Amino acid sequence: MVTQAVTQAERRVRTRSWRKVSEEHEEHEELVAEAGKILRRNDMGGWTRAAPELYPHQWSWDSAFIAIGLAHLDTRRAAQELRTLFAHQWKTGKVPHIVFNPKAPPDSYYPGAEHWACAASSPDAPPAPPYTSCLCQPPVHAIAALRIWEAARRKDEKALVEATAFLREIYPRLFAWHRYLATFRDPERSGLVTIYHPWASGTDNSPRWDDALAAIEVGEMETYPRFDLQHLDDPSERPASAEYDRYLWLVKLIKRAGCDERSIYRSHPFLVKDVLFSAVLVAANEALLEIAEVVEASDEERELIDGWAGRSRQGLKECWDEKLGLCLDYDLRADKPLRVRTVAGFAAPLIAGRQSPERLEALLGELDSSAFSGHPELRWPLPPSTSPKETGFHPRSYWRGPVWPVANWLLWWSLIRAGEPERAARIRRASLDQIAEGGFAEYFEPFTGEPLGSNSQSWTAAVVLDWLLSDSLRKADSRSSQSE
Ligand code: 2M8
């Protein structure tokens, strides 16, 4: 396997140097065209389904990434993506993790609208239908809103005026969303966001949650359908039934608590401080501060946002594990850190930014090590979602090992912000090669590069657009190829 991987790596290098610049350009044009086509096909009129069959609804953080990609094609449509999502914001400020598509084919996704319909009876829920779940996902939205405005500023005066009006409209909603996360989801004021379901992390079956889930005793439950498995050939690409039992049991408990945040916090068996979620919130609060400036928000609000960001930076620092050189999630019920090496461990501090030179070096060392991107058998030098050195690693199973383009986008973006443009350019280039070879998959097998999960995944298309159409990136890329 090692010999084969080295050969593949050599072949890649040779292919690259043989390939003429014009050919690369053509390949990029094709990728841009294909990504645009995918987003158009998944466009449901003002919002985009996460994938054509497996995910026929609007997902919260998917929509934010989609808006980042769409901003390069049509800033007005990109703004609409976020506007549609935020139209279903809860009174507490929560942005639901799914807004259910009333026109989705029956039996296409479980648990669907009917399962979550009860959430609509919560006094905090928005008017329904459409129904929403009562979970939430990492808050990429302010980053997306700012990106839309920046894209409009590069375009023309008319687009800028429109995007500024959009920021004025969305700012109070973003502010309420971040305030919800800083209060309801962090009653300890630790700076770290608590999740009460693995779905809220966005990295659902990651071994990050194994210990916390293992402690849960699943009670009496009705049988349930696995519609997700109909859409794939190989069931091992999706979470296992033991994981699904726990997901649905947790949903049952959340529904039993009437989706009430305080009751959930009091009694729920799965309560975890999520470092990746919290780090995205730091970056999102930084974006929100910039938005606050554009819309001339009050000093009081700006101070609050700044304070939330500072508190989360501090909270994340305290999750650092010197031995692993990573940041660790914290299980509030067991009162202990969750010691697993996943991409979240180094992505979180990088996304949160402002690391000391020593810590940055440790993080980059871990990223480059054989535990992640430096593993000798990888098809592409990209970090598997879980380190192959972990016992919970599985190369085909969803967030337990496959490589995710969307996670690589977050890393790339954070590396640029951390002053590491060459490393960022390498991640971008390998990711584009991976997608050019395997298509717009949801995730990829790390050793073979086989595309897995859904195809035509919207956020994969969106990050490709951003990688290929972002000016700043092209510059970083050319700097690094000059130094090669
Ligand atoms: C995946 O999660 C959903 C549940 O929310 C699922 O597996 O059914 C995750 O990858 C999540 O991060 C993503 O937002 C969603 C849609 O792409 O799919």
Question: Residue 475 has what pLDDT?
Answer: 55
- Rounded Cα distance between 367 and 383, Å, is 7
Nearest to 206, CA basis, from 150, 255, 277? 277
Ligand 1 atom 5, closest CA = 199
Pocket test for ligand 1, best of 197, 204, 248, 440 (most atoms within 8 A of CB): 204
Q: Which of 81, 204, 366, 445 is catalytic?
A: 204
Annotation says 186 is catalytic? no
Q: How far is the CA of 62 from the centre of ligand 1 (A)?
A: 8
Question: Residue 13 has what pLDDT?
Answer: 39
- Rounded Cα distance between 315 and 204, Å, is 23
CB 362 within 8 A of CB 346: no
- Tens of pLDDT, residues 242-280: 999 999 999 999 999 999 999 999 999 999 999 999 999
Q: Can you tell me whether residue 264 is helix, strand or coil?
A: helix
Nearest to 408, CA basis, from 429, 425, 386, 431? 431
Determine whether the shortest distance from the Cβ of 202 to ligand 1 is under 6 A: yes
Nearest to 272, CA basis, from 355, 186, 347, 356? 186
Question: Residue 276 has what pLDDT?
Answer: 98
> CA 150 → CA 15, 92, 269, 294, 428, distances in Å?
36, 29, 42, 11, 21
Question: Residue 481 has what pLDDT?
Answer: 52
Question: Residue 121 has what pLDDT?
Answer: 86
- Tens of pLDDT, residues 190-200: 999 999 999 99
Please state the atom number of ligand 1 nearest to the C-alpha of residue 238: 7
Q: How far is the CA of 424 from the centre of ligand 1 (A)?
A: 25
Q: Can you tell me whether residue 330 is helix, strand or coil?
A: strand
Ligand 1 atom 13, closest CA = 202
For the chain, state the CA radius of gyration.
Answer: 21
The residue assigned the tokens 């067991």 is 334
Q: Can you tell me whether residue 331 is helix, strand or coil?
A: strand
- Rounded Cα distance between 80 and 258, Å, is 31
Q: Can you tell me whether residue 439 is helix, strand or coil?
A: coil
Stretch (H or E) spanning 193: strand 193-195
Question: Residue 23 has what pLDDT?
Answer: 72
CB 409 within 8 A of CB 343: no
> CA 297 → CA 147, 186, 240, distances in Å?
19, 24, 47
Determine whether the shortest distance from the Cβ of 398 to ligand 1 is under 6 A: no
Question: Residue 471 has what pLDDT?
Answer: 67
Predicted TM-score (pTM) above 0.75: yes
Per DSSP, the chain holds a count of helices (H) and strands (E) of 20, 10
Annotation says 204 is catalytic? yes
**DSSP conformation letters of 361-383:** HHHHHHHHSTTTTT-TT-SSS--
- Rounded Cα distance between 434 and 444, Å, is 8
Stretch (H or E) spanning 113: helix 113-116
As beta bridge partners, residue 331 has: 272, 336
Q: How far is the CA of 54 from the centre of ligand 1 (A)?
A: 9
Question: Residue 118 has what pLDDT?
Answer: 80
CB 38 within 8 A of CB 456: yes
- Rounded Cα distance between 17 and 26, Å, is 16
Q: Which of 53, 62, 81, 442 is catalytic?
A: 442
Q: Consecutive 10-residue runs of the chain (484 residues): their mean pLDDT? A: 38 44 77 97 98 97 98 98 98 98 94 90 93 97 98 96 98 98 98 98 98 96 94 94 96 94 95 98 98 98 98 97 95 98 96 95 95 98 98 98 98 96 96 97 98 98 97 52 49
Please state the atom number of ligand 1 nearest to the C-alpha of residue 109: 8
